[in-house]
Amino acid sequence: MSRKTTNGTDGVEIGLYSIGKVHDRGVTDVQTSAQSDPAREVVDICRRLIQFDTSNYGDDPRSQERDAAEYVAGLMSDVGLDPELVESAPGRTSVFARVDGEDSNESALLLHGHLDVVPANADDWTHPPFAAEVHEDNGVPMVWGRGAIDMKDMDAMILSVVRDRVRSRRRPRRPLVISFLADEEAGGLFGSHWLVEHRPDLFEGVGVAIGEVGGFSFTVDDHLRLYLIEAAEKGISWMQLTADGRAGHGSMVNHENAVTRLAEAVARIGSHEFPVTMTATVEHFLVEVRSALGLPDDTPAEAVVARLGPIAPMIGATLRHSAAPTMLEAGYKTNVIPGSATAVIDGRFLPGRRDEFLATIDGLLGPDITRSTLVDDIALEVPFEGPVVDAMVRSLLEHDPQARAVPYTLSGGTDAKAFATLGIPGYGFAPLRLPPALAFADLFHGVDERVPVDALEFGARVLDRFLDLA
């Protein structure tokens, strides 16, 4: 178990099958002990994972998870697990392992995280995005770096908890399938979707899945914190719009200008306000929040969301469909009117309402505009009830007596969409107890992404207890 590799970002040689000191980064040695503590390693593992630059540029040779995947596999091999590395393309690497449960007749629980991150421009950051340094923010020690909350924090929790349980010979209640996936940030074509299509055997026996973007806290007051559990996701419709027109000289009047036609269509879509539409999960969430905030039962949805402070943008996006223009391309010279122009729209639709959403988009396009699909992925919604949900509620309460778990809808998407095609229901449960003032929603894909040290430790202990109960 002495295999080594070289980290391409800094040339530091690291041991893949043990956790060692990385001298140029200042990450301390992770200690082992016979005494169980599921949070013992979580901060160090999170920092080391961040130091692997796994930026996802889509179908581009720069997109690589291999080094991080080998490191993760080494952490699992080190305690006696038998991980499998699976590549969908060179360097696009995912990792799987299985852990026996106390009840071998129970279906397996899939714990999934992704190893890739969105790119980061270091010049925009207060601290280097791949250094994983610990600095205080308003007096709270935090790990700073790309992936700190999306989602190398949860990866580290899973690894810390599983390693501790194996070392201390504490089996979870049910069998586990542990996965660390490639390519989530670009739609999972080299990750979860590829694996579901080409390696469904990896998910054999799985009955339910737990992944990212849920279990984080919203502080109501000194006596109540809401923990938002993801029970639904909006669907994804990334589309390209193409306008055709008549090419010509820029000095001439041209009523068939492709750029004008495209700009008008993009403006119609970008400024369109979809109506508020209640789904089951959103309605449940609003009932809980009205109660927590002492609001009348008939308080309008948007008025409730306005009271949610730093998470208001995240929740507000789940009240309706959305369609955001994100890219434009046309022309090659100032005085040449091009014959065509293109735009990209990031569309997100509510569960059960895909056809309604696309019909609205098509009505907004206008003449001479065609729409083609770049990515189309399902919306999800699962019941907020049953033994797994009960286990989340109880594990949170045992570690935070002021906790109240509530379901919510994620405006983005996760690998849970791929697993749903195998009939595996999924929840977002990466537990974090957050400082009240932290603008958590802004950290996803944002500048200065960071996670509190004590939130990582809290999350590991909650996840550990959850595995006893789920």
Amino acid of residue 35: Q
The pLDDT score that the predictor gives to residue 3 is 31
Q: Which token pair is 364?
A: 């907004």
DSSP state of 385: -
Dihedral Cα 234, 407, 291, 443, nearest 10 deg = -70
The pLDDT score that the predictor gives to residue 441 is 86
Q: Are 396 and 403 in contact (CB under 8 A)?
A: yes
Q: Coil, strand, or helix at residue 102?
A: coil
Separation CA 384–CA 209 (nearest Å): 14
Average pLDDT by stretches of 10, the chain with 470 residues:
32 29 34 72 98 95 96 97 97 98 96 97 97 96 97 98 97 98 94 97 98 95 96 97 93 92 97 96 97 96 94 94 97 94 98 97 94 95 97 98 97 95 97 94 92 98 98
Q: Are 357 and 321 in contact (CB under 8 A)?
A: yes
The pLDDT score that the predictor gives to residue 23 is 27
- For residues 66-88, one letter each, b for 16 or more C-beta atoms within 10 angstroms of the residue's C-beta and e for the rest, the string is bbbbbbbbbbbbbeebebeebeb
Task: State the residue for tokens 């990750």.
Answer: 191
The pLDDT score that the predictor gives to residue 298 is 96
Helix (H) or strand (E) holding 165: helix 152-167
Domains and CATH numbers, the chain: 4-231+380-469 (3.40.630.10), 235-272+320-376 (3.30.70.360)
Q: Are 353 and 277 in contact (CB under 8 A)?
A: yes
Separation CA 111–CA 95 (nearest Å): 12
The pLDDT score that the predictor gives to residue 48 is 98
Q: Are 415 and 188 in contact (CB under 8 A)?
A: yes
Instruction: Return phi, psi of residue 427, to 5°.
Output: -130, 155
Distance of CA 86 to the CA centre of its chain: 21
Task: State the residue for tokens 């999960």.
Answer: 281
The pLDDT score that the predictor gives to residue 118 is 96
DSSP state of 145: S
Separation CA 120–CA 450 (nearest Å): 13
